[in-house]
Structure 1
Amino acid sequence: MQVVEAHVRRAVRWGGIPCGEVEVTTDEAGAPVVLAFFSLSKDNDFDLQAIVRNDADTETDWFDNNMHQAFQDMTVDVFQNVNMKTDWGARESFKEQVLSSGKVREELKRLLEKAD
């Protein structure tokens, strides 16, 4: 999955952790737009917590309700190799593509430092 474009949407909590929600446009036909959740890491960078696909039709679900089953966590599926283990190289590559897109890294830092 290659990143085409990314932008920071808002601060949220993912699994109780303060995260920045980033909308990512990809070249993946099955998931052209995903949400990636990033938290601050101890090494002054960011940890990718999850990637979520929204299968809701925006015509009928225009209010962005993330309380229903249209949002599917696809983190494990995206980065799983043939041995059913995490492909850490692919995961890190995706993370860096998102963080390097536009001003995502700077905006996440500003957003999450305020959330602490």
Structure 2
Amino acid sequence: MKNIFLSSLLFAAVTLSAQKKADSKKIQIVEASCGQCQFGLTGKGCDLAVKIGNQAYYVDGTSIDEHGDAHASDGFCEAIRTAQVTGKVVDNRFVATSFKLVDGTKK
């Protein structure tokens, strides 16, 4: 009986670990922009953020400057862009494992 319980517990732990890894690999289409300028987040400067559903999160794993001039007419401080991302929310921040802009702007 003890072995069955331990086997079940181990199976549950492996399954949960696999689900977490799969969630971080799931491709999502999100809004991306400057957290302060476009999404109203508090901060000390212009920083990249994504909006997933109705919630905006600052991004770790890439920066606002890695995607062109933030203050150009199609830059993150001036427009909301669409991005294809993978990653997960950790401690109220989106940790990106991939981040790719999709052509065109939303705003």
Q: TM-score, normalised by structure 2?
A: 0.29
Higher alpha-carbon Rg = 2
